[in-house]
């Protein structure tokens, strides 16, 4: 073995030695692992944020969730080994696309999960038509364009999306005199899409958006944005951002006494378990948002989440259990199709119902949207909570047929 090859192997081994099975997290541009793989087996790649602002939402927990789905399949599909590889895309579109191209063209990867950011998801989706292989499992990225104008036969969105958030917020949270809003929005694909949808739905319901400001994806100080929102007099302040930006926004809003002053903070994108836990109930209490799941929503979900907790020391986010669910369904479709051919597998994914610890009686539409119930959730007060991870109460369940954009309104060419 050459010195370079030994170094590459040694780094990969050290990074994920604790996982037992082969899981590779790359801090470099890409990882191959091809010399260690069964070349005729199924290979699944996961592109993620390993240490940046979205690492608690996905990160190592997403890799663990994916590996759990593989382990439940016995580590094999069609009688052959399933290999998992992963890479840190660092929230960089060019890097994420480069890794994905290499995996699909040179490394024999059959499916990609997570995709790190919506901009990476859109870039990889755009390149997919140039590939002969590749199923995309959008488990953290959620720009509606991925199942809209940019849809492909091989892309599947698993938890929420930018329209579903907007619809839940606009129709189930505010009405009447309370239907005035101010948006603090991250300037990337999901934020742009969510704010456009939310504004349209609010105005259609007779509400008003009194102001809107954008911030860069790497922003850390939200003081000026929050002061503008506070002075606007809007009843609802939608924080249309996520990860560290969302957490910092809420913390600084708390310092300014915005909620105590009578305004309501609303999570304009997904409100994750990791967000509320990191902020603590004293800061996060009363936050309202749309979620795809809660860890204790059913006995099966609770049992799965506790097993995840035993490995990771924290409860899973909806993005993490979404990775598990999407991977499990993908492997099931490969087995049912009797092949890894992406057209045959994609057809089976749409044909088969989705039933697991994440969702019951889910179904996949022509546009790749996996349809399932959503929830309006609210962070509990410290007095309401019964334990460290007892963070949310469900305000309302949004039925699957009401949660997402109607298929007849979709911009996806596959629906024509």
Q: How confident is the model at residue 7 (pLDDT cuts 50, 70, 90)?
A: very low
> What are the tens digits of pLDDT across the range 262-300?
999 999 888 899 999 999 999 999 999 999 999 999 999
Distance from C-alpha of 37 to C-alpha of 47, rounded to nearest angstrom: 18
Kindly tell me if the per-residue pLDDT of 3 is higher than 50. no
Distance from C-alpha of 38 to C-alpha of 28, rounded to nearest angstrom: 23
pLDDT of 5: 43
Percent of the residues in the chain that have a pLDDT greater than 90, as a whole number: 71
Burial of 183 per CB tally in 10 Å (0-12, 13-18, 19+):
buried
Which has the higher per-residue pLDDT, 52 or 311? 311
pLDDT of 9: 38
| SS3 call for 76 | strand
pLDDT of 26: 41
pLDDT of 230: 96
Residue 61: φ, ψ to 5°: -65, -35
pLDDT of 191: 79
Q: 224-232: long-range contacts (C-beta < 8 A, 24 or more apart)?
A: 225/184, 225/249, 226/184, 226/252, 226/253, 226/256, 226/258, 227/256, 228/182, 229/182, 229/184, 229/258, 229/263, 230/256, 230/258, 230/261, 230/263, 232/182
Stretch 324-330: mean pLDDT, rounded? 98
351: Cβ contacts below 8 Å, ≥ 6 apart: 336
pLDDT of 350: 98
Kindly tell me if the per-residue pLDDT of 20 is higher than 60. no
Q: Going by DSSP bridges, is the β-strand pair 374-379/25-26 parallel, antiparallel, or unpaired? A: unpaired
pLDDT of 349: 98
Edge-to-edge strands, sheet with 288-291? 208-215, 180-186, 236-240, 264-267, 288-291, 374-379, 392-398
Whole-angstrom CA distances from 413 to 60, 181, 322, 350, 370 are 35, 33, 25, 16, 17
Q: Are 367 and 349 in contact (CB under 8 A)?
A: no
Relative orientation angle of helices 162-172 and 189-204, to the nearest 10 degrees = 30
Stretch 377-388: mean pLDDT, rounded? 95
> What are the tens digits of pLDDT across the range 87-124?
999 999 999 999 999 999 999 999 999 999 889 999 99
- Beta-bridged to residue 239, according to DSSP, are 184, 267
pLDDT of 166: 86
- Helices and strands: H and E segment counts in the chain: 14, 16
Distance from C-alpha of 237 to C-alpha of 211, rounded to nearest angstrom: 10
C-alpha triplet 184, 249, 46: angle, nearest 5°? 90
DSSP assignment string, 98-117? HHHHHHHHHS---EEEE-SS
- Scan for tokens 């870039």, then name that residue: 123
| SS3 call for 132 | coil
Taking alpha carbons only, the member of 260, 261, 240, 239 closest to residue 250 is 239
Whole-angstrom CA distances from 207 to 105, 181, 236 are 49, 8, 11
Q: What is the mean pLDDT of the chain?
A: 88
- Beta-bridged to residue 142, according to DSSP, are none
Kindly tell me if the per-residue pLDDT of 167 is higher than 90. no
> What are the tens digits of pLDDT across the range 194-251?
888 899 989 988 899 999 999 998 889 999 999 999 999 999 999 998 888 899 999 9
Residue 90: φ, ψ to 5°: 60, 25
311: Cβ contacts below 8 Å, ≥ 6 apart: 64
pTM above 0.75, yes or no: yes
Distance from C-alpha of 155 to C-alpha of 376, rounded to nearest angstrom: 26
Stretch 329-342: mean pLDDT, rounded? 97
Please report the domains of the chain, with CATH numbers, ordered by start residue: 3-160+299-371 (3.40.50.2300), 163-292+373-407 (3.40.50.2300)
Stretch 28-53: mean pLDDT, rounded? 67
Q: 89-93: long-range contacts (C-beta < 8 A, 24 or more apart)?
A: 89/47, 89/48, 89/49, 89/115, 89/116, 89/117, 89/120, 90/49, 90/50, 90/52, 91/49, 91/52, 91/53, 91/54, 91/116, 91/117, 91/120, 91/217, 92/120, 93/117, 93/119, 93/120, 93/123
């Amino acid at each position: 073995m050459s010195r370079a090859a030994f170094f590459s192997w040694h780094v990969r081994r050290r990074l994920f030695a604790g996982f037992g099975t082969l899981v590779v997290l790359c801090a470099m541009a890409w990882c191959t692992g091809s010399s260690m793989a069964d070349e005729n087996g199924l290979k699944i790649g996961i592109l993620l944020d390993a240490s940046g602002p979205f690492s608690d939402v996905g990160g190592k927990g997403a890799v663990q969730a994916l590996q759990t789905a593989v382990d439940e399949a016995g580590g094999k599909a069609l009688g052959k080994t399933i290999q998992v590889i992963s890479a840190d895309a660092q929230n960089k579109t060019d890097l994420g696309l480069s890794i994905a191209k290499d995996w699909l063209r040179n490394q024999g990867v059959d499916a990609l999960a997570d995709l790190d950011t919506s901009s990476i998801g859109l870039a990889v989706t755009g390149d997919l038509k140039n590939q002969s292989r590749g199923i995309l499992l959008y488990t953290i990225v959620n720009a509606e364009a991925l199942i809209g104008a940019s849809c492909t036969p091989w892309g599947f969105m698993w938890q929420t999306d930018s329209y579903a958030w907007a619809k839940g917020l606009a129709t189930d949270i505010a009405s009447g005199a309370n239907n005035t809003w101010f948006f603090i929005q991250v300037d990337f694909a999901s934020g742009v899409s969510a704010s456009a949808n939310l504004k349209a739905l609010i105005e259609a319901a007779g509400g008003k958006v009194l102001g809107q400001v954008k911030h860069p994806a790497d922003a850390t100080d939200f003081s000026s944005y929050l002061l503008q929102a506070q002075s606007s007099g809007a009843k609802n302040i939608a924080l249309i951002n996520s990860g560290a930006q969302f957490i910092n926004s809420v913390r600084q809003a708390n310092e300014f006494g915005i909620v105590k002053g009578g305004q309501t903070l609303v999570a304009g994108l997904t409100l994750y378990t990791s967000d509320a836990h990191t902020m603590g109930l004293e800061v996060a209490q009363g936050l309202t948002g749309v979620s795809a799941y809660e860890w204790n929503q059913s006995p099966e979900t609770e049992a799965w989440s506790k097993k995840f907790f035993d490995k990771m020391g924290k409860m899973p986010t909806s993005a993490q259990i979404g990775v598990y669910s999407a991977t499990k369904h993908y492997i099931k479709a490969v087995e049912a199709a009797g092949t890894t051919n992406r057209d045959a597998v994609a057809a089976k994914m749409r044909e088969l119902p989705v039933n697991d610890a994440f969702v019951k009686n889910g179904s996949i539409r022509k546009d790749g949207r996996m349809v399932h119930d959503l929830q309006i959730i609210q962070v509990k007060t410290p007095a309401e909570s019964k334990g460290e991870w007892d963070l949310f109460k469900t305000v309302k369940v949004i039925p699957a047929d009401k949660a997402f954009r109607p298929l007849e309104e979709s911009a996806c060419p596959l629906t024509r």
